[in-house]
Amino acid sequence: MSTSTATRRSPGTTDIPRPGSKRQHEVLRLLPGPLLTIILVFLGALVLIPVLYIFLASVNSDIGVANGEFWPSSFNLDNYSKIWTSVGLATGLANSVLVAGATAVVSAALSVSTAFVLVRYSFRGRLTILRGLLALQSVPGTLMVLPVFVLFSSASTYLGIQVIGTQWGLFVTYLTFAMPFSTWVMVTYLRGLPKELEEAAKIDGASNLGVLFKIILPLSWPGIVVSGIFAFLLGWNDVLFASVMTRPESQTAAVALQIFGASQEGGAIPFYGQMMAAALVCAAPVVILYLIFQRYLVGGLTAGGVK
């Protein structure tokens, strides 16, 4: 009897799909192909249709938007040139990029070192600090506005340091709220890194700082990017603290949009086109940031460490 070159299988065995094969993808997929396509199309339309409407309204006339036109009768890009004077968007965008960017960089840098100490060292109060990081996430920002304002006002009164109305005062405020979340993200990420790499580095004579800069930092870029972007979004989207603690020369883009929208109430026909154009311009930096760091974001959100 001739034997086949294929591998013989006993009657009770099953064919296990190879990793990355088409069959494994079909096994792991929970929904049928047509149903999955319908759901993805529906979710995509749910996200893209409002964005498309905002764009079409930004190139339409105010009367056309007020009449409920979805597709403009005439395309006009004048709204994108008017927002820089009517909304005051240039100053707001510059302040937002400066404050939110500084918050992201400093928060990400400090959270790595803090998480490294909390994960790799045992000391009294360690669990209390970890639990406090979680507890701080449940405190609403509205409860902290008055205490923060009074604290910064007292600094101006008793210490002669002007905090209210300055960019660095807003930066300190955002950093206070961004640090707990960024630290917890890095704690979760560093727990997935193998300790053997650090032990090998110490055997080779590396110090604790050497381990942090030569081993932890290169392996933690996805987690660092995730914590930094979340801190950036915290400062970029905030209206509550920025409206209380800024002046016209230090207000952010979110506050400028809020003031412009409030000034249109009670008028004959609001400047719908300029409002939509300003909203798209303010959303563009966040989208660009996501596209640049998309690879790190996916890795930081899905991977708990080194595979």
Cβ(265)–Cβ(57) below 8 Å? no
Residue 100's pLDDT band (cuts 50, 70, 90)? very high
> pLDDT tier at 106 (50, 70, 90 boundaries)?
very high
Sign of CA dihedral 108, 110, 116, 119: negative
Predicted local confidence at residue 105, as pLDDT: 93
Which residues touch 96 (CB under 8 Å, ≥6 apart)?
Answer: 235, 236, 252, 253, 254, 282
The answer on pLDDT for 300 being more than 80 is no
Query: Per mean pLDDT, which range of 35-39, 96-100, 172-176 is the poorest?
Result: 35-39
In this predicted structure, what is the pLDDT of residue 273?
85
Work out the angle at residue 53's Cα, subtended by the Cα atoms of residues 48 and 58, and round it to the nearest 5 degrees.
125
Q: How far apart are CA 131 and CA 66, in angstroms?
A: 51
Percentage of residues of the chain with pLDDT beyond 90: 11
Whole-number Cα distances in Å, 190 to 33, 132, 214, 218, 266: 37, 18, 14, 12, 53
Highest mean pLDDT among 66-80, 129-143, 244-258: 244-258
- Written as six digits, the tokens of 284 are 């563009």
pLDDT value of position 95: 92
- pLDDT at residue 248, rounded to an integer: 82
> Which amino acid, residue 194?
P
Token pair of 82 as six digits: 């008017």
- Please say whether the beta carbons of 166 and 123 come within 8 A: no
User: Is residue 307 predicted with pLDDT exceeding 50?
Assistant: no
User: Does residue 215 carry a pLDDT above 70?
Assistant: yes
pLDDT category, 301, cuts 50, 70, 90?
A: low
Tokens of 188: 């979760």
For the stretch 43-70, pLDDT in tens is 999 989 999 999 998 888 878 888 878 8
pLDDT tens for 232-265 read 998 998 888 988 888 888 889 888 888 887 776 6
pLDDT tens figures, 111-130: 998 888 888 888 888 888 88
Write down the mean pLDDT value for the chain.
81
Give the C-alpha separation, 86 to 243, whole Å: 18
